[in-house]
Amino acid sequence: MARGPEPTRRIPLRWGTYESRYLGGLLYIIAGTVILISTNTYAIGFLLLGTVALCFGWAILPATGGRRLWAFWPSLLATWLMLTGPQILFVMAATLLGWLLVRERPLRSYIVLLFPIASGVIMAYQFHSNHDEPLAFGIESAVVVGSAWLARLVR
């Protein structure tokens, strides 16, 4: 199946290259999320560090400013909510929603949001303590990444 070019490649960039901003934004979003969910009351400085990294990641992704702004808020709120434990991992669908919006995926591809919601609900019944969070977060992250790739195939 031949896929066309990414819709965001047509956006004129004021600085940097498409590839560097895409990779940098993605890495900052991932790092910010991991730092944030690793935060606890004994390492509160990481809350600020993770928040700044997450915000910076969304800010440098190649996209229009409005799309980045709309993606950033739900992602940040969802990541903060994940501090409560693995029972709320279904909110990672908000980060995927932001990704689909920033990457300018067609509206029909948004059906993939059901996968992280469903897996998050299932995991809420399987994982009950914060000690289970690394495994639960890894599984949910794989579902989100797979859903993002699946959305990429929808034309």
pLDDT of residue 2: 46
Give the predicted TM-score (pTM) of the model. Answer: 0.86
pLDDT of residue 118: 95
Q: Which two tokens stand for residue 3?
A: 């896929």
pLDDT tens-digit series, residues 62-110? 888 788 888 888 889 998 888 887 888 899 999 999 999 988 899 999 9
pLDDT of residue 4: 66
Q: Cα separation of 130 and 142, whole Å?
A: 19
Per-chain mean pLDDT for the chain: 87
All structural domains of the chain with their residue ranges = 7-153
